[in-house]
Amino acid sequence: MPNITISILAIEETMIYTLAGPYDIFSTAAICSQQMAPKKPAFVTNTSIVGLKKGALTCYNGLTIECQQSLDEVDNTDLIILPSIEFLEQPFLSKYPELQGWLTKHYKKGTVIASVCAGAFLLAETGLLDGKITTTHWAFADDMQAKFPDVDVHSDKIITEQDNLVCAGGATSWQDLVSYLVEKYSTVETAKHIDQFFLLNTRQEGQLPYKLLKSMVRHEDKVIKESQELIESSLVEEELLANVTQASGLPERTFKRRFKVATKQTPNEYIQNVRIDTAKNLLLVSSSTVQEIAEQVGLMDGSYFRRLFKRKTSLTAQDFRRSFASSEESKKVLRK
């Protein structure tokens, strides 16, 4: 099994746990893989934290790390990881222009570049993601698509890969990314051993179960804002769409057009999404049956509700409750 060189980039905006997690696992992967499977070849990496300069660096929330290499000291590397980062008012490359050439140079030499969560924004600024698929945290996906229209953003996915560019969704998906990369550079068996040893929590179902479905797009259309508020407070009303349309004072076609322009969702889609978002919360905090919850969000047909819930979240309502409800905590926590 070949050794691989990994460079994890650190800048002032880096969220350290999305850097330290991959660093710790890759740095100890050889030992851990040998403990789990002593007769198999070890998964060996040469992993370094790389900064604009070598030495101490204060990152997000005032935490300090040590950069073991500067950009200039990295001659060849198999993999560059961009951890998640705090957003800036200006483009990242206007603050760190040297990263454009550094990332592009190594990518052209065949280096794989992987990002975690908002790290995809930095990668997109380089232009390397143009025409390619990517993912980021679902809450940032609309903003990313607006800023980088040539990038194909898939907010429901945990991992995307195209042409040696690998992206992971939310910040804790660094665990999914590490597992994926271990398998990419070694074997499925080694990846499973690493998963088991570190109790990595990978998400086979993607981001859909976590995603807030209703539109979060900010807009200044007062009439549509009032319509959104009315929808959210009137889910159990019969003929909800017709009532909201009438309350807007707009002709039906005008209302639907303005709603879609403002929210990027049709009124019917928005109503469905608010109902499922509300149902998800009720599944987590109440003991109501699935049928009762369906009725509480205005869907009297329980069969239709179950189909819609599965389509919108990738899980059945019962599986969602089983996976995320606090009542399941007893399976993980022993109290005395």
Domain 222-327: assigned CATH number: 1.10.10.60
135, pLDDT greater than 70: yes
Q: What's the confidence (pLDDT) of residue 210?
A: 84
In the predicted model, is pLDDT for residue 191 greater than 80? Answer: yes
Please determine, for residue 303, whether its predicted confidence score (pLDDT) is greater than 70. yes
Reported as a pLDDT band with limits 50, 70 and 90, residue 44 is confident
Residue 331's pLDDT is what? Answer: 58
> Kindly report the CA angle at 75 between 71 and 78, in degrees rounded to 5?
100
Nearest alpha-carbon partner for 57 in 94, 20, 101:
20
Annotated domain spans of the chain? 4-198, 222-327
**Span 140-148, mean pLDDT?**
93
**35-44, 200-209, 324-333 — which one is most confidently predicted on average?**
200-209
- Window from 37-51, 79-93, 130-144, 150-164 with minimum mean pLDDT: 37-51
Highest mean pLDDT (candidates 2-11, 49-58, 279-288, 313-322) = 49-58
Burial per residue of 72-82, b for 16 or more beta-carbon CB atoms within 10 angstroms, e otherwise: eebeebbbbbb
The C-alpha angle with vertex 45 and arms to 203 and 157, in degrees rounded to 5, equals 20
CATH 3.40.50.880 fits domain 4-198:
yes
**Residues ≥6 apart with Cβ < 8 Å to 113:** 79, 80, 81, 82, 103, 106, 107, 123, 128, 164, 165, 166
Q: Note whether 45 and 6 are within 8 A (CB).
A: yes
**pLDDT digit string (tens) for 236-274?**
998 999 999 999 999 999 999 999 999 999 999 999 999
**pLDDT tens by residue, 174-186:** 999 999 999 899 8
Low-confidence winner among 30-44, 231-245, 288-302 (lowest mean pLDDT):
30-44
The residue with greater pLDDT, 325 or 58, is 58
Per-residue buried b or exposed e for 99-121, using 16+ beta carbons within 10 Å of the residue's own CB:
bbebbeebbeeebbbbbbbbbbb
